């Protein structure tokens, strides 16, 4: 479930929405063959003018012949990035997926085709896919290649794609992933207009801490031809004269899109040795949807932005997550300030998948049960905090407490044991709070200053000098 607030010139309107309801169906025929599927319902009601839709995100036959080799064929998730393969909310922090995983890597993303995969060694796994590809007709400046997903729904398939992923686990708690995608996106003329996505990700887990880092680059070949085919090379004046839907040159399809994110979280209940968890997290994203464009188009700085998200995720058990977060973004436009993104004040990212090892992974566990998604709400702090004040005051306080909590916990645990770790967490958080608050007032005085009204009737000093 979700609740949100939409602001208009007249008033604010409240909204409640069943954002997602996800069902997993699976069956194991024998020790080698199995079937896996995932069906998602969005916005409760479908058909006609209703806002909802039904999507079949996975549906494939799986043959696991050996630990080092297996095959899958059907509707498959593209293994690029961390979240697309495991996009259920208990697997990531924040109510909504990071924007990096929406407009740089277009999660959730599936295609029709076949895959070979395996775990040749305990520290290494691989996946290689041959599938259908994206369609350049859906590309857009403000969402990258996301609109090119055709979701295997009577989708044109003149051009195909290859993708893959390698995962390395050098030590316990560390995972390094490399993934990529390459395919043609001209679904009318054949193998032209290639798109290449290269991504790398890192996850480190230790004593209740989790560090995530990801980076990706999207290269759109023949961007000039794509812009011409979409009519984006027509100037607004020529478009009016020719009665064609020409668009502003600043909204052209780029040649390159880049993005990266870093996230640090800590489970404050970890020292208690309980099944419950309460993770505090902070995340920074950098998204450049117009990193590079072809001439004569111009880079649109409004499409290149930085995003800060912070919040908490509570799990009474692993499969259920209750989340709250706050988020602010700033574009590269001149004099741009940190503002609340143009999204609902409350939204949902709710479902409760089983642990990955309990999912229907060939040879590794029972079929996944059906489940009903629990309610999760998003709270945006923009309604009570001035955005500039949040940047100057709120962020230092939040990260001061989080950093003090983490460092105090590590020191206390290594020096005095688990109970010392708990005491260290509390003491460290208090020290971090005191330091952050002491710095906050000076920063606020220097940075957050009220605007001085200008009286148009007052003479300009420069005019007085000229008259003198």
What is the tens place of the pLDDT at every residue in 199-236? 999 999 998 999 999 999 999 988 888 888 887 765 54
pLDDT of residue 265: 94
Taking alpha carbons only, the member of 454, 67, 413, 466 closest to residue 270 is 413
Query: Which residues have CB under 8 Å from 106's CB, separation 6+?
Result: 144, 145, 146, 148, 149
User: Tens digits of per-residue pLDDT, 112-156?
Assistant: 999 999 999 999 999 999 999 998 888 988 899 999 998 898 888
Instruction: Record the pTM.
Output: 0.70
Closest Cα partner for 230 from 152, 309, 147? 147
296 upstream amide cis, omega within 30 of 0: yes
Which three-class secondary structure state does DSSP give residue 168?
A: strand
Question: In degrees rounded to 5, what are phi and psi of residue 434?
Answer: -65, -45
Hunting for tokens 């007085």 — which residue is that? 464
Q: What would be the CATH architecture of the domain defined by 2-384?
A: Beta Barrel (2.40)
Write out the two tokens for 240: 């009016």
Residue 417 has pLDDT above 90, yes or no: no
What is the Cα–Cα distance from 306 to 100, expressed in whole angstroms? 10
Cα(440)–Cα(453) distance, rounded to whole angstroms?
26
What does the pLDDT look like over 144-202, one tens digit per residue?
999 999 889 888 888 889 999 999 998 889 999 999 999 988 876 655 789 999 999 99
Burial of 137 (0-12, 13-18, 19+ CB in 10 A): middle
Domain boundaries of the chain, sorted by first residue: 2-384, 388-446
More confident residue, 37 or 273: 37
Mean pLDDT of 317-323: 88
Nearest alpha carbon to residue 108 among 142, 132, 80: 80
């Amino acid at each position: 479930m979700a609740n949100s607030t939409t602001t208009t010139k007249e008033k604010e309107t409240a909204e409640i929405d069943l954002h997602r309801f996800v069902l997993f169906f699976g069956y194991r025929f024998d020790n080698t063959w199995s079937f896996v599927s995932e069906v998602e319902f969005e916005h409760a009601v479908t058909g006609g003018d209703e806002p909802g839709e039904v999507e079949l995100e996975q549906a494939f036959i799986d043959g696991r012949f050996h630990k080092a080799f297996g095959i899958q064929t059907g509707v498959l998730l593209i293994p690029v990035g961390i979240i697309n393969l495991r996009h259920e909310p208990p697997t990531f922090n924040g109510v909504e997926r990071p924007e990096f995983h929406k407009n740089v890597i277009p999660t959730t993303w599936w295609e029709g085709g076949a895959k070979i995969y395996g775990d040749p060694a305990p520290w290494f796994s691989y996946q290689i896919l041959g599938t259908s590809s994206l369609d350049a007709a859906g590309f857009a400046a403000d969402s990258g290649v996301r609109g090119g997903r055709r979701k295997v729904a009577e989708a044109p398939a003149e051009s195909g794609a290859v993708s893959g992923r390698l995962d390395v686990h050098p030590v316990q708690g560390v995972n390094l992933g490399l993934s990529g995608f390459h395919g043609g996106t001209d679904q009318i003329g054949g193998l032209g207009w290639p798109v290449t996505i290269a991504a790398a990700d890192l996850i480190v887990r230790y004593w209740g801490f989790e560090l995530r880092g990801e980076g990706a680059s999207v290269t759109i070949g023949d961007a000039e031809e794509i812009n011409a085919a979409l009519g984006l090379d027509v100037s607004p004046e020529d478009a009016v004269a020719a009665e064609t839907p020409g668009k502003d040159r600043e909204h052209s399809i780029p040649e390159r899109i880049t993005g990266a994110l870093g996230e640090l979280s800590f489970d404050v209940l970890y020292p208690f040795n309980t099944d419950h968890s309460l993770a505090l997290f902070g995340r920074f994203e950098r998204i450049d949807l117009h990193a590079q464009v072809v001439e004569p188009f111009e880079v649109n700085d409004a499409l290149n932005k930085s995003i800060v998200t912070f919040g908490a995720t509570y799990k009474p058990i692993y499969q259920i997550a209750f989340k709250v977060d706050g988020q602010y973004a700033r574009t590269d436009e001149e004099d741009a300030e940190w503002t609340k993104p143009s999204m609902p004040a409350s939204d949902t990212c709710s479902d409760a998948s089983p642990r990955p090892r309990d999912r229907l992974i060939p040879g590794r566990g029972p079929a996944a049960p059906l489940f009903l998604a629990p309610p999760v709400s998003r709270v945006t702090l923009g309604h009570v905090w001035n955005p500039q004040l949040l940047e100057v005051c709120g962020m230092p306080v939040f990260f001061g407490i989080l950093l003090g909590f983490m460092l105090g916990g590590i020191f206390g645990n290594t020096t005095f044991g688990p109970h010392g770790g708990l005491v260290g967490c509390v003491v460290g958080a208090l020290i971090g709070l005191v330091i952050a608050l002491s710095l906050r007032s000076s920063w606020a005085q220097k940075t957050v200053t009220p605007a001085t009204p200008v009286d148009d009737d007052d003479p300009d000093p420069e005019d007085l000098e000229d008259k003198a």
